[in-house]
Amino acid sequence: MSIYLVHGFRWARNDVRVHVVLQEVDDAAPNNLMSGDSEEAMNDNFRDLYPNIMDKLPGLRFIEPLNPNTEKFKYPSEPFVFVADVVVQSEDYIDVVEAMNRGVRAHQWDAMADLRDQIAKEEKIAWYVVHNGDRQLAKQERLKKEQNGETSTVEDPDAVEVCSQLFFGSTALR
């Protein structure tokens, strides 16, 4: 189970699909932009379309909220993906204040706004907590750690459910 703190904006999945088809981004899987090939293909496409913007966003990532408690989890396809210039990932916790205090440079913020205006004009740029995880995988990892004599960060199996409900999707932080 991964938790991400991202600075960016949401991009509707249907708009992602249209972009991939119209721009003929053959190596991008619109239902799984977090995969290495898809992310690389989309970044290449954006560099071709928006070179001045992408010069200021060298670490652009696509982060997808995945809820392991829904049937849709069988094939990751939430209604949107996050386009992010800052990504902090954790398996356990994130010090949100510390991460946000690192800030975003003005030229980076402006570039994100320009990119957003190109692909998702109605969306706001903000900090989001995004849950991306497989509850079963988290349980397997915890059991493996316990078998190896390592302490587990989650002792109560119900805590995984609570975390999943708390962190699923996104919570905008301002």
- pLDDT by residue (tens digit) across 69-117? 655 545 556 789 999 999 998 878 888 899 888 889 999 999 999 999 9
Strand partners, 131: 3, 168
State how far the Cα of 165 lies from the Cα of 113, in Å rounded to an integer: 30
Q: What is the pLDDT of residues 22-51, one digit of tens each?
A: 999 999 999 888 888 999 999 999 999 999
Q: Which two tokens stand for residue 55?
A: 């010069």
Q: Does residue 9 surpass a pLDDT of 80?
A: yes
